[in-house]
Amino acid sequence: MNDVIFDRVALIGLGLIAGSMSLAMRRAGVAREITGYARSQATRDTAREIGLVDRVCDSAAAAAEGADLVVLAVPVGAMGAVAAEIAPVLKPGAVVTDVGSVKRSVLEAVLPQIPEGVQFVGSHPMAGTEHSGPRSGFAELFDNRWCLIVPPEQADEGEVRRLEAFWAALGATTERMDPDHHDIVCAVVSHVPHLIAYTMVGVADDLRRVTDQEVIKFSAAGFRDFTRIAASDPTMWRDVFLTNKDAALEILGRFTEELFALQRAIRTGDGDTLHDYFTRTRAIRRGIIEAGQDTDAPDFGRAKKSV
């Protein structure tokens, strides 16, 4: 068990990430008290019912008051407004972080709201599932996953290290990154792949020559995994693309160029180009497995969950 890192931690938003953080904090023993708030009354009721945090509050300010660490676990488009709401009650010496997958726009929205004597340090746990809501969390979500730490230029080094120690106690491996580089990296490894998954599922829905029953019945790993990704929270992903517009459009442009090249190879029967391309991309998959970020098991190592 780890030593206490933050006496009181406030979770603003009580979905998959925040719920998993609460459970992981309890497992590690790094917080003495965990408070929480969610905008939805139903979510707050569920969180109370299952004991997700020690104390569920009825406003973001009530949850954040007196907290040593405040975690903004809301859609990135709402970060600025939430930061403004809690700013008057933040105690001197507190640390505020977020768990959003976009960083430049979050820094621009949140930093102006942070009062003097309070530190804001961005963080982004690279972990998740297609499930959402207060019942979806589990303590192991961050184990052996990356958490990117994105401090603003003026961040206190001691508080950055404290936040890194906190995420390490929750099971994650941390790496620091600057906000613009973070956003382009996430556009490549997360944002655009999600958009492609949404698009592919939408295409299947549009192909009336393939019935709904056939799509469901014969879905092999490729389409099945597209549907898993495309089941993710729509509000969160809407905000991701609106706030990471430039990086997403840049990577989408490159994707489109690659797609046109593959279309041409298929049309002209250029088997050598296709084989070389697939060989190169296969090596990337092997690298992911060797890095411990997935498994080559037939079910990709995903635990079967009862619905």
CA–CA distances in Å: residue 123 to residues 32, 69, 104, 208, 275: 21, 12, 12, 43, 39
Q: What tokens appear for 78 in the block?
A: 């709402």
The CATH superfamily label for domain 181-269 reads: 6-phosphogluconate dehydrogenase C-terminal like domain (1.10.3660.10)
| pLDDT < 50 stretches in the chain | 298-307
Residue of 82, 89, 88 whose CA lies nearest to 97: 82
Q: Order of strands across the sheet with 146-150?
A: 122-125, 146-150, 173-176
CA dist., res. 138 & res. 30, Å (int) = 16
Rg of the chain over all Cα atoms, to the nearest angstrom? 21
Determine the pLDDT at residue 307.
32
Report the share of the chain in percent with pLDDT over 90. 67
**DSSP 8-state assignment for residue 13:** S
Determine the pLDDT at residue 297.
57
- C-beta pairs of 177-185 under 8 Å, 24+ apart in sequence: 177/148, 177/149, 177/150, 178/150, 179/103, 179/104, 179/107, 179/122, 179/150, 180/104, 182/103, 182/104, 182/124, 182/148, 182/150, 183/102, 183/103, 183/104, 183/244, 183/246, 183/247, 184/247, 184/250, 184/251
Pairing mode, strands 146-150 and 122-125? antiparallel
Determine the pLDDT at residue 105.
95
Contact 96, 158 (CB under 8 A): no
Reported pTM: 0.81
CA dist., res. 95 & res. 68, Å (int) = 6
Determine the pLDDT at residue 216.
63
User: What is the CATH number that goes with domain 6-177?
Assistant: 3.40.50.720
What is the residue extent of each domain of the chain?
A: 6-177, 181-269
Q: Strand pairing partners for 148?
A: 124, 175
Q: What tokens appear for 118 in the block?
A: 């309070």
Residues in contact with 220: Cβ distance below 8 Å, sequence separation at least 6, in sequence order: none
Determine the pLDDT at residue 99.
97
